Structure 1
Amino acid sequence: MSIKRFSLEYNHVNGRTFSVGDVLSGRVIVVASKETKVQVLVVKAKGSAEVKWYGQDGPNTVSYQDEKKYFYLEHIILQDKNKGDGSEIIRQGRTVYPFSFVIPNKDMPSSYEGRWGRITYNLQAELTQTIWSIHKTSIDFPFLTKSEFPFTPKSEMSIIGLKERQSATIISFYGSGKVILNVTSEKMGLMQGETMEVSVEVINGSNGTVTPKFFLCEKQIFLAQLKTLVHTNEILFGSGESVLARTSRTIINVLSIPRQLSPTFCNCSLIKLEYTLKVTLGDPLARGPDIKLPLVILLGSSISSNPQTVHGT
């Protein structure tokens, strides 16, 4: 056990994230209690997407999984001349080995962690003394896509639609009458942290009071082995003002997109992320569909641009 510490560090660029074409540099730190012979010291950088879940096929439990590799880079720092005789020496004490990679210039999705899958970009260092003594350490680094349209196929009409108003109408029936709900959203595409004005016209023909409620609906889609699994989550945006029986009212609500939400994306073959704005009357006795309007969350502005160093273990 002559290796007392084996760790990775990398330097940030672009504030907090990396993108295609960036230089990913850092160092491997080795602390040895005595002079130590080694076979190889290597650093690897890779990007990949992976999904995995379990389902039932009759009485049997089936595993569905798939992986998509975006890149794999390898940098050999030390390697013995005779491939196994341990001719490379790490001196006693603390030794620092620098490394550097250039992230490939190709279309890749941003880092993402979902319910049954994730998109990760990772550094791993491996130090082999013998086949029975191998030290490993790894750390993820955040990656941000430079794809101009990660949220949609490159269609001019779909891009124009991000700025257009959206409207929908439903009729819900109560025992004493019906309620007409007209919803208009300011636009379809919003950045993280941005606010949006939503207009709700309520024509309450029933004998009860109704209250519009607003939800942000998240939809995670996972694909593996020709199977699709969907995970949904609803976030309550808030409630509008109540509308009394036999009255009409137009309610204006300003909704704010949480800054921490991941942007919409579909530029990954295994994982996709979509959002909708849902408006409901908030009454379980109401019969009729909720109004759902498509919502595209776009990447917001960068929060920080200060260079940093991140440590692995």
Structure 2
Amino acid sequence: MRESGDGRDVLTEGHHEFNFTFLLPSTGVTTSFEGKYGSIRYWLKAEVEKPWSFNHKTKKAFTVISPIDINRNEYLTAVESSVEKTLCCWCCTSGPISLYARTDRKGYCPGESIAITADFENLSGRTVVPHATLHQTQTFLAGGKSRSRHCKFTTVTGVALQPGRSANWDAQLLKIPAVSPSITNCCLIHVEYTVRITLQIPGAYNLFVDLPIVIGTVPLRSRPPHYRTLGLPSQPQIHFYPAAPPYSEADTDDALPVEPPPTYAECIEGSVDIGDDEDGEILGDTRFTPMYAYVHDYLYHPPPAYSEVDPHPSRQTEGASCGSH
């Protein structure tokens, strides 16, 4: 390499490599997103000037993820809703159709499953079918106007519910694919998610509830190994932890569980071409697929219904009995 008369570096013939480092801001950076009407995109562009010839250009995009930790308290609470309607046909009125649904929490990471609890009651004269679907709403804002796009991802379908019957779901799982995290910190593009629980009614408008959820980037952490939960009817939940040993006996290496490194997956919506008219001729592949945090081999673990350690043990330790009152 040598320096030209105007102070710029001139590459001599041969192979050259340069290492570049860019520090991203710690705040105010929005997650990469590719939408139909707009995108949030980060890329690097390199150009080599060639006197008396066309310059060589290349362009590579990369994914930036704004962290959303679903282990925060506001994302661990359940989301629930209910709705009811009565069908009418001319002068005849049937019994009501009702729906209650609840998710096990509000925040999830792609690759995890949403555990849905639902109660369905069909007192009408028609057969209805329950469904659960993950919905994504993309909102694009510019010039005082907005435009939205609605996408449907995974769906589960339950057993048809005959007239006069009721049914329920107990932790019906709805898998979350590799989708973009929720985006609410951008003034131009918003990405939001809901779980829609629907009762499909032939010959009438469907009955449904929308449960808003948040798609995050930090997976749900497992409970500490000695954590116990005691559930008592009509009483607040109580958490029990073993007494801490003296400091000298405590193993500081085991104080906090070591979390595995994050894993990622390509966005389910596929790749896009990041080239544009201003780039001219670009060398190399200009296709780009965002990579999002993804939990591989996720297993749903229902919360314990009672403590594995009884804080008030009985003196009776042998035998078992069942009775009714």
Q: How does 1:103-118 map to 2 (within 5 A)?
A: 103-118=24-39
1:184 matches 2:97: no
Tell me: CA distance 1:271–1:187, structure 2 relative to 1, closer, same or farther (3 Å): same
2:263 corresponds to which of 293, 299, 303: 303
Tell me: CA distance 1:120–1:182, structure 2 relative to 1, closer, same or farther (3 Å): same
Tell me the secondary structure at the aligned position of residue 243 of structure 1. coil
Structure 2: how far apart are the matches of 1:222 and 1:195?
Answer: 28
Tell me: CA distance 1:238–1:230, structure 2 relative to 1, closer, same or farther (3 Å): same
Structure 1: how far apart are the matches of 2:66 and 2:154?
Answer: 29
1:141 corresponds to which of 62, 67, 76: 62
Q: Is the 8 A contact 2:127 2:202 kept in 1?
A: no
Structure 1: how far apart are the matches of 2:18 and 2:102?
Answer: 59
Aligned partner of 1:82 in structure 2 is 6
Tell me: CA distance 1:279–1:245, structure 2 relative to 1, closer, same or farther (3 Å): same
Q: Is the 8 A contact 1:222 1:270 kept in 2?
A: yes
Could you tell me the TM-score, scaled by structure 1's length?
Answer: 0.62
List per-residue Cα deviations over 1:65-123 (Å, max 9, x = no partner).
Answer: xxxxxxxxxxxx9863327xxx8543333333333333333320121111211111111
Q: 126-135 or 210-219, which moves further after superposition?
A: 126-135
Q: CA RMSD in A?
A: 2.7
Residue 242 of structure 1 deviates from its aligned partner by 2.2
Residue 251 of structure 1 deviates from its aligned partner by 2.4
Q: Is the 8 A contact 2:116 2:174 kept in 1?
A: no
Structure with the larger RCO, 1 or 2 (CA within 8 Å, 6+ apart): 1
Gaps of 5+ in 1: 1-76, 150-158, 305-311
Tell me: CA distance 1:101–1:299, structure 2 relative to 1, closer, same or farther (3 Å): closer
Tell me the secondary structure at the aligned position of residue 41 of structure 2. strand
1:96 matches 2:17: yes
Tell me the secondary structure at the aligned position of residue 100 of structure 1. coil
1:166 matches 2:83: no
Gaps of 5+ in 2: 220-261, 265-282, 285-325
Report how many residues are paired: 218
Q: Is the 8 A contact 1:222 1:272 kept in 2?
A: yes
Structure 1: how far apart are the matches of 2:2 and 2:201?
Answer: 68
Structure 1: how far apart are the matches of 2:85 and 2:2?
Answer: 71
Residue 270 of structure 1 deviates from its aligned partner by 1.2
Q: How does 1:218-257 map to 2 (within 5 A)?
A: 218-257=136-175
Residue 162 of structure 1 deviates from its aligned partner by 2.1
Structure 1: how far apart are the matches of 2:10 and 2:215?
Answer: 52
Residue 179 of structure 1 deviates from its aligned partner by 0.8
Could you tell me the TM-score, scaled by structure 2's length?
Answer: 0.60
2:130 corresponds to which of 212, 218, 221: 212
Counterpart amino acid of 1:281?
Answer: L
Q: Is the 8 A contact 2:128 2:200 kept in 1?
A: yes
Tell me: CA distance 1:181–1:134, structure 2 relative to 1, closer, same or farther (3 Å): same
Give percent identity, aligned residues only: 25
Tell me: CA distance 1:131–1:268, structure 2 relative to 1, closer, same or farther (3 Å): farther
Structure 2: how far apart are the matches of 1:147 and 1:169?
Answer: 28
